[in-house]
Amino acid sequence: MSDKTLKKLRCLIIGASHAGVNFAFALRREGWEGQIILYDADPELPYHRPPLSKTYLTNEAGMSVTPLKSAESYERGDIQLNLGVKVASIDSKTKKILLEDGSFQSYDKLILATGARPIVPSIPGLDTAKKVFPIRTVADVEGIRYALEDNPKKKIVVIGGGYIGLEIAASLKKLGVHVTVLEREERILARVASSEMSDFFYKLHTQNGVELLAGKNVISIEGDKENNVVVCSDGTKYPADIIILGAGIHVNTELAEHAGLTIKNGIKVDQTSKTSDEDIYAIGDCTLHYNPHYKRYVRLESVQNAVDQAKIAATTICGKEAVYDAIPWFWSDQYDIKLQIVGLFDGYDNMVIRKEEKDKPCFSIWYFREDELLSVYAINNAKAYVLGTKFLKTNQLLHKRNLSDATIELKSASLMST
C-alpha cells in the first residue's frame, strides 16, 4: 500500500479501552497516514481497567485512575478521540457507521474493540433495588466509594464468586466493611480454576473475614427504599446496604451482528484479527480467535490478548505480514496474594503441585494433558510463572518428579525440547 493511498484512507475504531487505544497508536507507528478516529461511550479519557476491582477502591490518593495515554499523546499522534459517543449501527454495504445522534461517518477500515459488559441477572427486585453496582467503569467504582462514605461498616453482598467478585471482596475488606459473596456454583472460580485453586482462595477469603458461600442461587431482592435483602433459592436471606454484581460478562456483539459478521461465542476472526468482512477487524475481549498453540478457537478476557491482537491487526492493515500466535497470560491480586497464570488449563488430566518454603504462601500448580504442559498457576511465585511461560513456548517435556520436589532447581525439571 503506497504512502499516497494511506493518506487518503480513514480508519474508525469503536471502543477505546486497551484494545482500541493500543490499535490506534500501533496503526500510526506502522505507517498509516490517513485519519484515525476513536469512538467510545465512556466519557472518561481511556484508562487502565484491571485496577478497578483490585486497588482503585483502596487508593489513598483518591479517585484518580491511570490513563492509557495522555490527552496530549492523541494530539501528537493525530488521533481523533470522540468520548461519550455511542455508535448505533454499522452499514457494511455502504461502509458507514450511524452514531446515536443520527449522524453518519464513512470508513475504509473499521475496527471493533467493543469488549464486553457486566451481566445484570434477571432477578426480581434487582431493577428497583438501591445502590446496585456492576464493576466495569470508573463510574461504577466511584459509586461504591460514595455509597461507603457515610458508613464504612455497611453490609455488602457480592453476587458472583469469580475473579472480579473475589478481587472486589478483598479490596472491600481492606476498608473494614462486612462482605458476603454468594456464588451460584458449588465452588468459587468453578469455571476458571481447578478445585485445588478454588479451595486455596476460599480459605484465603474466609481467613480475612469474608463470608463466602457457594451453592447460593439468588432468586429475588426484597426490602424497602433504604434496605435490600438478597434472597436465595434455599430460603436464606442476606441484608445488603450495597449489592455488587460479579456474575460474569456479556460479549458486545450487537454491532457486529447488525453488520452481518460471523458470530460464535464472540466475533469470529482469523489470525490477523480480520472478520468475515474484508474491511472490518475485531480485537480484544469481543473476539473468538484460533490459537495455534492449543489448536482450537478461544475467546479471552485479558489485557494481553487485547494488546497483542491490536498490534497484529495494525501491522496487517498496513500491508505487512503478521499472525496472532501467543500464549495467554492473566493475573489476579487479592490481599497479599498475587496469582499469575500462563496458558489454558482446560482439558487437563493430571497436575503437579510444587510448594516452596516461604514465610507466606508460595506454590505453583502445573496442569498437564498426559505429558503435555497446558498451563501454570503460580501463587506469589514469579519464577514458576516465568519458567512455565518459557516451557510452554518451547514445548518442553518436563520431569514431573523433579517438578514436584522444591529442593531441586525448577529449571532442572526440563527434560528436552520436543
CATH number of the domain at 350, please. Answer: 3.30.390.30
Domain containing 66: what range? Answer: 3-115+252-317
Whether 14 contacts 114, CB under 8 Å: yes
- Whose grid coordinates read 464513512? 106
pLDDT at 6: 56
Measuring CA to CA, which residue among 51, 81, 82 is closest to residue 64? 51
Return the ∠ at Cα 346 (arms to 341 and 347), rounded to 5°: 135
| Domain assignment of residue 31, yes or no | yes
CA-to-CA distance for 21 and 368, rounded, in angstroms? 36
pLDDT tens, residue by residue, 375-418: 999 999 999 999 999 999 999 999 999 999 999 999 889 875 44
End-to-end CA distance of the chain: 40
Position 32 scores a pLDDT of: 97
Whether residue 137 lies inside any domain: the answer is: yes
Q: Is residue 61 part of a domain?
A: yes
pTM assigned to the model: 0.94
For residue 127, is it within any domain?
A: no
pLDDT at 282 over 90: yes
> Residue 64's pLDDT is what?
65
Query: Residue 401's pLDDT is what?
Result: 94
Are 14 and 106 within one domain? yes
Mean pLDDT of the chain: 93
Give pLDDT, residue 75: 97
What are the strands, taking DSSP E only, across 327-381?
329-334, 337-343, 350-355, 363-369, 372-379
Structural contact between residues 277 and 297, judged by C-beta atoms closer than 8 angstroms: no
Please give the average per-residue pLDDT across 36-51, as a whole number: 94
Triad 105, 109, 111: Cα angle to 5°: 90
User: Would the pLDDT of 295 be above 80?
Assistant: yes
* Average pLDDT over every residue of 263-277: 97
Q: What is the pLDDT of residue 53?
A: 84
Report residue 1 as a C-alpha cell: 500500500
For position 322, what pLDDT does the model report?
Answer: 93
Q: Is the pLDDT of residue 166 over 50?
A: yes
Q: Is residue 327 part of a domain?
A: no
Q: Are residues 342 and 384 in the same domain?
A: yes
- Pair (311, 257) in one structural domain: yes
State how beta strands 242-245 and 155-159 pair: parallel
% of the chain at pLDDT higher than 90? 85
Q: What are the two backbone dihedrals, phi and then psi, of residue 142, each rounded to the nearest 5 degrees?
A: -60, -40
In single-letter form, the type of residue at position 413 comes to A
E strand segments, 217-371: 218-223, 228-232, 237-240, 242-245, 249-251, 267-268, 280-282, 287-291, 296-298, 329-334, 337-343, 350-355, 363-369
**Residue 84: per-residue pLDDT:** 96
Q: How many domains does the chain contain in total? A: 3
Looking at residue 414, what is its pLDDT? Answer: 87
Report, as an integer, the average pLDDT of 93-111: 97
Shared domain for 235 and 138, answered yes or no, is yes
Give the pLDDT confidence score for residue 152 in this predicted structure. Answer: 65
Mean pLDDT throughout 257-283? 97
pLDDT confidence tier of residue 57, bands split at 50, 70 and 90: confident
Integer Cα distance of 220 and 362 in angstroms:
40
Q: Rank 65-69, 231-235, 358-362 by mean pLDDT and report only the highest.
A: 231-235
In a domain? residue 96: yes
Same-domain check for residues 239 and 218? yes
Residue 118 β-bridge partners: 249
